[in-house]
Amino acid sequence: MKAKTTDQSRDLEARTRCDASSTPLGEIMTTDVTCVRADFPVSALRSVFARESFSGMPVIDDAGRPIGVVSRTDLVRGGTLARGRTVYDLMMPMAFTLPETASIARAAALMAHEGIHRIPVVDASGVIRGIVSTLDISRWVASTAAAAVDPWSDP
């Protein structure tokens, strides 16, 4: 029985790896993206994070292109910032981006290699069209596994 489970696990892993290499980010990304500009006040950023469920967001320029990312962790690390500080003072001043056509596997590899939790998804001109997070990828893996595994079979 153990060998059967191992074979099933290997089959599922192979299918998931194949699907992750061929499934574009456009299929799993969040398209309703909250972005901020670098001159956005830290006091207002605290309010946004207090009312929203996400843990980070892209920082964009006037054309809507990402120039960085700011997270709740950045806000906590910034701690006792003096009045008048902006998102620019807290943000990671570079944003790894991928096009909508990039694969889930590519996004997962980039996240793992760079230690990041979200990637802005951009169009050909570099303007944000969505965002993909580690949670989006985890949900996709779980839904792929759920479809491939018979819930009534022995574990």
For residue 153, tell me if it sits in a domain. Answer: no
Residue 37 lies in domain: 2-148
For residue 143, tell me if it sits in a domain. Answer: yes
For residue 125, tell me if it sits in a domain. Answer: yes
For residue 154, tell me if it sits in a domain. Answer: no
* pLDDT number for residue 69: 95
Per-residue pLDDT in tens (0 to 9) along the chain, 155 residues: 444 455 555 555 555 555 889 999 999 999 999 999 999 999 899 889 989 988 999 999 999 999 999 999 988 887 655 567 899 999 999 889 999 999 999 999 999 999 999 999 999 999 999 999 999 999 998 888 765 555 556 65
For residue 155, tell me if it sits in a domain. Answer: no
**C-alpha distance from residue 112 to each of 52, 77, 106, 107 (Å):** 25, 22, 10, 9
CATH at 34: 3.10.580.10
* pLDDT number for residue 127: 97
For residue 112, tell me if it sits in a domain. Answer: yes
For residue 101, tell me if it sits in a domain. Answer: yes
What's the domain count of the chain?
1
* pLDDT number for residue 149: 56
Q: Which amino acid is at 69?
A: V
* pLDDT number for residue 38: 96
Angstrom distance (rounded) from CA 113 to CA 31:
24
For residue 111, tell me if it sits in a domain. Answer: yes
**Strands 56-60 vs 66-71: parallel, antiparallel or unpaired:** antiparallel
* pLDDT number for residue 144: 80
The arrangement of strands across the sheet holding 66-71 comes to: 36-37, 56-60, 66-71
